[in-house]
Amino acid sequence: MVNQVILVGRLVYDPELRELKDGKKVTTITMALQRNFKSAETGTYETDFLKCTLWSGIAENTVEHCKKGSTVGVKARLAQRFYEIDSEKSFSYPEIIAEKISFISPKHAQKEAQA
């Protein structure tokens, strides 16, 4: 069985590194992913905004090399996450967990974004 997702999009925000109590490093990025087809209603390309969790070295490298607007490719897997509201109802949602990231933006574009 295969649990693999490949996404290519632009970062909506600058990634920020967080360190958890156990010392693990993590960042969450939001990617803007333009659809390949135009909406029948508006005649424009719609965009999806998806969050992706990055751990350890992948998180550190992304924070070091990427800024808002950077184009990245992410190879990830989906995980089912659960949470409760008021200790009563339990809800689940899919979480995108990155396993590999590719920095697609040209180096000159990354340097301009940092300036």
Query: Which residues neighbour 75 within 8 Å (Cβ) at sequence distance 6 or greater?
Result: 4, 5, 6, 98, 99, 100, 101
Q: Burial-class residue 25 by CB neighbours within 10 Å (0-12, 13-18, 19+).
A: middle
Q: For position 108, what pLDDT does the model report?
A: 47
Q: How many CB atoms lie within 10 A of CB 85?
A: 8
| Structure-token pair, residue 103 | 């920095």
The residues spanned by each domain of the chain are 5-114
> Residue for token digits 């990617």?
31
Mean pLDDT (the chain) is 87
Q: Which CATH superfamily is domain 5-114 in?
A: Nucleic acid-binding proteins (2.40.50.140)
- pTM of the entire structure? 0.78
pLDDT in tens, 54-93: 999 999 999 999 999 999 999 999 998 887 777 777 778 8
Instruction: Tell me how far apart the alpha carbons of residues 15 and 89 are, in angstroms, rounded to a whole number.
Output: 32
